[in-house]
Amino acid sequence: MKKLWPTLKKAWEFIILFHRGAFVDKRMAVVRKEAFDINDNLMLLLFGDFLGIPNPMSYYMLELLPYVADDMESWERRIQNRKFIIAEKAAQYDFD
């Protein structure tokens, strides 16, 4: 009886981890990816003029620059390297 409690606890932890690995992480990765994709698109709306797309209020968007400065370079690389939108979208849904 004394040994049963820790074993149960361990089993419960195992179940949680298994559940997370099998279901949650994968799904959350999709959500996370979607969130970052939307953010990348938002950045395109905010700072499109850096890529040559005119923006009616690029002047006002400058005040956001300090907060996204860290991510700026990688965003530019990401957005300029987009090749296949369909492949990108398909990668979100794993079919296994």
Partner 1 sequence: MRRFSFFGGKGGTGKTSCAAAYALSLSRRGVRTLVVSTDPAHSLSDAFGKQIGCEAVRLSDSLHGLEIDAAVEAKKYMELIQKKTLDLVSAAIVDEIKRQIEIAYMSPGAEEAAIFDKFVELMESAGTDYDAIVFDTAPTGHTLRLLTLPEILGVWIDQLIEKRKKAMHLMKMASRYDAYLADKIKEDPILETLTARKEKFEVARDFLTDASLTAFFFVMNAERLSILETARAVELLTKHGISIGGVVINKVIPQDAGAFFDKRRVSQEGCLADIRARFSQLKLVELPLLETDVQGLEQLDVMASTLSSLDETKD
Footprint of partner 1 on this chain (CB under 8 A)? 20, 24-25, 28-29, 31-32, 34-36, 38-39, 41-42, 45-47, 49-50, 54-70, 72-73
Nearer to partner 1, 27 or 83 (CB): 27
Nearer to partner 1, 10 or 26 (CB): 26
In 3D space, the residue among 83, 95, 84, 91 whose CA is nearest the CA of residue 36 turns out to be: 91
- Least distance from C-beta 82 to partner 1, angstroms? 18
What is the distance between the alpha carbons of residues 28 and 72, in angstroms, rounded to a whole number?
Answer: 25
- Least distance from C-beta 5 to partner 1, angstroms? 27
What is the distance between the alpha carbons of residues 56 and 31, in angstroms, rounded to a whole number?
Answer: 31
Nearer to partner 1, 24 or 90 (CB): 24
- Least distance from C-beta 86 to partner 1, angstroms? 21
Nearest 5°: phi and psi at 76? Answer: -60, -40
Residue pair 93/31 in contact (Cβ under 8 Å)? The answer is no
Nearer to partner 1, 11 or 17 (CB): 17
> Other CB atoms closer than 10 Å to residue 68's CB: what's the count?
15
